Structure 1
Amino acid sequence: MITLTGESLTLEQMKEVLYRGQKVRASEKSMEAVKKSREAVDRIVSESRVVYGITTGFGKFSDVLIDKNHVQDLQLNLIRSHACGVGEPFPEIVSKAMVLLRANALLKGFSGVRPIIIEKLLELVNLEIIPVIPQQGSLGASGDLAPLSHLALVLIGEGEVFYKGNQMEAISALQQEGILPVTLEAKEGLALINGTQAMTAMGVVGYLEAEQLAFESELIASMTIEGLNGIIDAFAEEVHVARGYKQQIDTARRIRGYLSDSLLTTQQGELRVQDAYSLRCIPQVHGASWQVLDYVKEKLEIEMNAATDNPLIFDDGEKVISGGNFHGQPIAFAMDFMKIAVAELANISERRIERLVNPQLNDLPAFLSPQPGLQSGAMIMQYAAAALVSENKTLAHPASVDSIPSSANQEDHVSMGTIASRHAYQIIQNVRRVLAIELICAMQAVEIRGVEKMATQTKRFFEKGREQVASLKQDRVFSKDIEKAAKWLKEIEISHFIKEFTVEKEQY
């Protein structure tokens, strides 16, 4: 059981909840802060004070005063009118993350909701009642208004959910679990939708997948090095310490570890003096992507524990301040940066694929074909990888450089962070398929060289990979192999292959 405080949620804990079924609960101390914040809202309503979103309309309607007899109507109308999401729904795991993150933000005690709102959100997480939330429609400022409104609909018994493998009306799933819908009181609708949880949830799931891909890319690249009799000297510790980037040093160390007892690698001058950049510069390129992922991780863990709605309530209601914490610019930048970093893993992977299949660049059978000419072998796999890499270059265009005014120019600069996070996730799926193609080609190459000569670590990875994709003995529909390999890369517990090399053994 993971206890949420609004202050200390980590990506590792998110992984436990999202992928391993860990349950969550709210800390008692945080709930006390929530109660005090709620009492402040009740006083504001009873005193008819003019406070944005509590006794006024929203956005450009912030100057319209609302009678306290219409407080519930105001919140209900807000949720219904703002539920304008369109397109395919977010993956279920992303929507689950969204609910969890919204509950954690409200637990900070600055939002003025009743404890029951947080309790209901945590019930949705623990019972796997997942809101159906359309992916498109958020500008990434004023919060992820449209996506989070679809989330909020479920609490009031409206909208749709994924439940026990089916998509259904929310009220049906709630009734099956004996959960009563809530009637939103003052501030609660606004507190539920005014935040960055859609882009952050998408970013969290994207980051967790990207992190796994980054580790896998090193293992697959190590196998490619063996398939091409790559020169191991380029990964020597002193080379990378001389430059000084920790992530570069770590990548080189892991690859040295994977290849430590390989009989397929060579020394400089043995077959050639130096390798092409796609082999020789793996630590420099992959290490730079790791630098970006570390940056993204830092920003996500801050945002996961941030108060991002408006207004925020301080000093037991003595200060109620309208600010702009809902603006998604920090996450928009992080997501755009992650797009570039992950796309680059595919860029260099595709170049290694080319070196594996091109007979002018190696001494292997042309296109790794069992019968060059009669059979095309991996020829068109490289085409597919090139197409995915090219598509990523389009998706990697930064979303955060754009802004379109909204709400009659009251909200005149927005982040487009949710678009950035969605495109990052699309890139990650493409990268995984490119790496799957490199894996298939690398396995074929080392098989030709002699599996018995492989390093212990890469051989173990090869053997598991061969359980998914058979050797290329005859041309077949390789699309199925690529998808199967990609699915395996997504689902495996990569720590089983990398654990012994991820601890920091060296001091720099």
Structure 2
Amino acid sequence: MITVGNKRLAVADFEKVLYQQAPVQIDAASLAKVNANFEFLTRYAQDKVIYGINTGLGPMAQYKIDERDQHQLQYNLVRSHSAGAGALFAEDLSRATMLARLNSVMQAASGIHPSAATLLQTLLNKKISACIFERGGVGASGDLVQLAHLALNLLGEGEVLFEGKIQSTKDVFQHQQIEPLQVYLREGLGLMNGTSAMTGVGMVNIIHARYLLGCSIVLSSIANELMKSFDDHFSFELNHVKLHPGQTRVAEMMRELLGDSKLVRKRPDHLYHRKITEAVFTDKVQEYYSLRCIPQILGPVYDTLMEVQTVLENEVNSANDNPVIDHERENVYHGGNFHGDYVSLAMDKLKIATVKLSMLSERQLNYLLNDKLNQKLPSFLNMGVLGLNFGLQGMQFMATSTTAENQTLAFPMYVHSISNNNDNQDIVSMGCNAALITKKVIDNSFDVLAVQLLALMQAIDYLKCQTRLSSFTTKVYEEVRAITPPILEDKPRYNEIKEIRNYLVRLGATIKL
């Protein structure tokens, strides 16, 4: 059970709700504060100009709204901004957005009726997910369009995703005996202003980026193991003199993963404690950078992920509305807490780091498939008839093209602002775009790693080194071989790539960074 309102929500809480079916409950004392906040605003707004209650919205805020039209204003706002396009959010992204919005409402600074919070809780627990379009808000007054679609569903309109299919919200609510949300004061604007869509997508991104990084460290370790690398490049002694926590942790994980391997070599045994007579060394003195520099390459990815996680957890536990209603100080503050720059920049950082991770995977894959580089394995890891069969050649094309796509997607959204809304929103964050593109890069990278993992397993079979592997590599090998056999013949492999990709997600969920 995940309780909302009395503590900070963390990435782990989102993971439990989204992927471990944990139910959500609302802290009663916190809900009482939401109600106190609502009641204060109801009194306070009687004879004052409060944006979005008795004024128009955006650049039309200069127009006073008559009291008899104030409820209709909220409906007009939600319906007019339900103007998204493109694909719908995947179910986990939708549920993450709903949980993020619930936690924002529970900060007791939005001035909306507590029934909005309890309705969000009901929908989350019944697994009724809002139909939210990917294309929409520009991330300045928050995720206006995406959150309008969420608000539309709370009003009992539009469509929702329920029991694996898109259904009429009205029909689902009637069948589940759910009362649609009523407008009391500013429920439309109070649900739409804010960064909950970009933050919800961001939380999903962090979860899967953690899985991806864990898998990358595992696969990079196995690559070093199979190539009989020297162990000093991930030793404590080498890495502790470089003062970055990510590098230290990545090297530590490599030592843990390869601790009982019989393939990894110690440099003194081969190059220090014997007399060297060769003029030309047949064995490499140092490995290629894609093998030797794992802590230095994945260390910054680790540090970036941890920084981004902090930003997103701060954002999801913030009041990101406008205006902010402060019932304790009995005041209403107008400003820009809905602006998504923190999330946008964080997502771009995570995206760029993930692109580099996929580039590392592609280079390691190229090393494994190029016999002239590794000098240990057949070309394309072809275990059939050379010339007649193709090994992993086709898979490499997919991995390379996917990495190239990631590199193109690496351009930051954070610096891509377009003025709109009659120039009222004259500098915007594009935060939801940033989060969604980051998700695509993370998804792409799993496909690249899937091919890399298949190549590593193929290399184990060719080298016949199963008895000398570390215990962790042995576990991975046995699990992968339970899914797919060695590649000997040429046949379509797209289903195997998909299955191995899914396996990597499961594997990543078990790895503690």
The two structures have a TM-score, normalised by structure 2, of 0.94
Q: In structure 2, which of residues 315, 323, 342 is the aligned counterpart of residue 311 of structure 1?
A: 323
- Within the candidate set 430, 434, 456, 2:471 is matched to 456
Change (3 A) 1:6 1:308: farther
Structure 1 residue aligned with 2:428: 414
After TM superposition, give the deviation of residue 465 of structure 1 in Å: 1.3
SS class of match (1:243): coil
Partners of 1:350 and 1:316 in 2: how far apart? 55
Matching of residues 37-436 of structure 1 within 5 Å: 37-45=37-45, 47-268=46-267, 269=270, 271-316=283-328, 318-362=330-374, 363-370=376-383, 371-436=385-450
- Structure-2 residue corresponding to 1:506: none
Q: Name the CA distance, whole Å, in 1 between partners of 2:172 and 2:265.
A: 61
Question: Residue 478 of structure 2 aligns to which amino acid in structure 1?
Answer: E
Q: Distance in 2 between matches of 1:298 and 1:55?
A: 37
Instruction: Report the Cα distance in structure 1 between the residues aligned to 2:462 and 2:265, rounded to whole angstroms.
Output: 16
Whether contact under 8 Å (2:157, 2:169) holds in the other structure is yes
Q: Percent identity?
A: 36
Task: Look up the equivalent residue of 1:360 and give its one-letter code.
Answer: K
Rounded to whole Å, the distance in 2 between the matches of 1:315 and 1:138 is 29
- Give the counterpart letter for 2:185 in structure 1: A
Q: Which residue identity does 2:135 align to in structure 1? A: Q
Post-superposition shift, 1:6? 6.5
Structure 1 residue aligned with 2:495: 480
Q: CA deviation at 1:7?
A: 4.8
| Cα distance in 1 for residues equivalent to 2:178 and 2:193 | 24
Greater shift, 377-386 or 236-245, is seen at 377-386
Match of 2:24 in 1: 24
In structure 1, give the amino acid aligned to 2:22: Q
CA distance, structure 1, for counterparts of residue 152 and residue 329 of structure 2: 28
Q: Aligned letter for 1:30?
A: S
Distance (whole Å) between structure 2 residues aligned to residue 28 and residue 68 of structure 1: 32
Moved more, 484-493 or 297-306: 484-493
The one-letter code matched in structure 1 to 2:480 is G
TM-score in terms of structure 1 length: 0.95
Give 1:436-451 correspondences, 5 Å limit: 436-449=450-463, 450-451=465-466
- The 2-side partners of 1:166 and 1:313 are apart by 38
Find the residue that maps to 1:161 and give its secondary structure. Answer: strand
Q: Secondary structure at the match of 2:134?
A: strand
Equivalent residue letter for 2:181: V
Secondary structure of 2:240's aligned partner = helix
Q: Give the superposition deviation at 1:396.
A: 0.9
Counterpart of 2:278 in structure 1 is none
Question: CA offset at residue 493 of structure 1?
Answer: 6.2
Amino acid at match of 1:451: Q
The 8 Å contact of residues 48 and 68 in structure 1, kept in 2 or not, is answered as no
Letter in 1 for 2:16: E
Residue 317 of structure 1 deviates from its aligned partner by 7.1
Q: Which runs of 5+ in 2 are unaligned?
A: 272-282
Question: For structure 1, which segment, 142-151 or 268-277, has the greater mean C-alpha deviation from structure 2 after superposition?
Answer: 268-277
* AA at the equivalent of 2:169: A
What is the CA–CA distance in structure 2 between the aligned matches of 1:391 and 1:230, rounded to whole Å?
Answer: 31
Whether the 8 Å contact between 1:5 and 1:108 is mirrored in structure 2 is yes
Q: Which moved more, 1:389-398 or 1:482-491?
A: 482-491
Q: Could you report, residue by residue, the CA deviation over 1:262-316 in whole angstroms, capped at 9, with x for unpaired residues?
A: 1222334563211000000011101110010001100010011011110111145
How much has 1:230 moved relative to structure 2? Answer: 2.1
- CA distance in 2: counterparts of 1:487 and 1:207, whole angstroms: 17
Partner secondary structure for residue 198 of structure 1? helix
Preserved CA contact (<8 Å) 2:361 2:449: yes
Give the residue type in structure 2 aligned to 1:62. Answer: A
SS at match of 1:360: helix
Q: CA deviation at 1:490?
A: 2.0
Q: What is the CA deviation profile of residues 327-380 of structure 1, one whole-angstrom value per residue up to 9, with x for unaligned ones?
A: 000000000000011111110111110110101012211111012211110122
Q: Provide closer, same or farther for how the CA distance between residues 331 and 56 of structure 1 changes in structure 2, counting only shifts above 3 A.
A: same
Distance 1:469 1:180 in 2: 49
Tell me the SS of whatever aligns to 2:68. Answer: helix
In the comparison of the two structures, how many residue pairs are matched? 497
Q: For 1:314 and 1:201, how far apart are their aligned partners in 2?
A: 25
Q: Which amino acid aligns with 1:311?
A: P
Which residue identity is paired with 2:80?
Answer: S
Whole-angstrom distance in 2 between the partners of 1:27 and 1:277: 52
Q: CA RMSD in A?
A: 1.4
Q: Secondary structure at the match of 1:63?
A: coil
Q: Contact conserved, 1:56 with 1:66, CA < 8 A, in 2?
A: yes
The AA in structure 1 aligned to 2:40 is: A
SS in 1 for 2:386: coil
SS at match of 1:140: coil
CA distance in 1, matches of 2:421, 2:378: 62
Partners of 1:198 and 1:69 in 2: CA distance:
32
Partner of 1:505: none
What code does the residue aligned with 2:320 have? Answer: T
- Decide which of 480, 484, 508 is 1:465's aligned counterpart: 480
User: SS where residue 472 of structure 1 aligns?
Assistant: coil
C-alpha displacement of 1:113? 0.8
- Bigger CA drift: 106-115 or 316-325? 316-325
Per the TM alignment, residue 41 of structure 1 is displaced from its structure 2 partner at its CA by: 2.1
Distance 1:159 1:288 in 2: 43
Cα deviation digits, residues 414-466 of structure 1 (max 9, x gap): 00111110100000011001111110001111222221111111110111111
Q: Can you list the C-alpha shifts for 1:354-413, whole angstroms capped at 9, x where unaligned? A: 110101012211111012211110122222111111100111110010111122111111
Determine if the alignment matches structure 1 residue 10 to structure 2 residue 10.
yes
Q: Residue 200 of structure 1 aligns to which amino acid in structure 2?
A: T
Quote the Cα distance in structure 1 between the aligned partners of 2:220 and 2:481: 16
Task: State whether residues 338 and 424 of structure 1, in contact with CA within 8 Å, keep that contact through their aligned partners in structure 2.
Answer: yes
Q: Which runs of 5+ in 1 are unaligned?
A: 503-508
